[in-house]
Amino acid sequence: MRRRQATTLFVTVAMAAGFAAFGFPWSALNEGWHRSPEITVISPAADPRLPVLEEALEFWNHTFAGLGTPFRLGTIHRVVDELPDADLQALSGVTAGWFSDGMLRGAWLRQHPAPFDRFGGDLLICLSSAKFISFSSRIGNRRLIAIKNAQLEPLTMPNVLRNVIAHELGHAIGLGHNSDPTTLMCGRPAPCRPNLYASETPHFFPLTEADRDRLRRLYPANWGR
Which pLDDT value is given to residue 106? Answer: 34
Which pLDDT value is given to residue 14? Answer: 29
Nearest CA-CA partner of 137 in 15, 11, 5: 11
Q: How far is CA 59 from the centre of its chain?
A: 15
CATH number of the 2-218 domain: 3.40.390.10
Q: What is the pTM of this model?
A: 0.83
d(CA 177, CA 63): 18
Domain boundaries, the chain: 2-218
Specify whether the CB–CB gap between 37 and 121 falls below 8 A: yes
Nearest CA-CA partner of 38 in 118, 119, 127, 122: 122
Give backbone dihedrals phi and psi of 133, rounded to 5 degrees, phi first.
-85, 120
Which pLDDT value is given to residue 8? Answer: 34
Give backbone dihedrals phi and psi of 69, rounded to 5 degrees, phi first.
-100, 145
Which pLDDT value is given to residue 100? Answer: 43
Nearest CA-CA partner of 18 in 133, 110, 132: 110
Weakly modelled stretches of the chain, pLDDT under 50: 1-24, 26-29, 99-111
pLDDT tens across 119-164, in order? 999 999 999 999 999 999 888 889 999 999 999 999 999 999 999 9
